[in-house]
Amino acid sequence: MKIYEVYLMPDAIDDLSGIYTYIADESELPEVAWNYVQKLREKCRELSTAPIRGQKRDDLRKNLRIAPIDKNAIAAFEVSEKKATVTIFNIFYGGRDYDTIMNFE
């Protein structure tokens, strides 16, 4: 089985930070927010063994894929077969309009 290296780009890291802040503020339970963000990070790491999933969205960015990583979160990423890498550009939470957001980046 081919194993891919998974990289989180700065925007994806910022997205995780924003998700943490939102959940911590809304729930007033920072440990719940932390556990959820850790769960999302683990789901991202799982792309290392099966990255060819989700919907191709070349209309937003060449080689872009959009796939759910949790019931409330999706990842926007690119797979390089040649380099055996998965580059995660963004993680969208709670139904954010990723079409619009990705069109401006």
End-to-end CA distance of the chain: 34
Widest pairwise Cα distance in the chain: 44
Q: How many CB atoms lie within 10 A of CB 18?
A: 14
Per-residue model confidence (pLDDT) at position 103: 64
> Per-residue pLDDT for 100 more than 90?
no
Q: Domains (ranges, CATH) in the chain?
A: 5-104 (3.30.2310.20)
Q: How confident is the model at residue 87 (pLDDT cuts 50, 70, 90)?
A: very high
State pLDDT tens for residues 29-71: 999 999 999 999 999 999 999 999 999 999 988 999 999 999 9
In whole angstroms, give the CA distance from residue 104 to residue 24: 28
The size of the chain, in residues, is 105
| pTM (two decimals) | 0.90
pLDDT at residue 101 in the model: 65
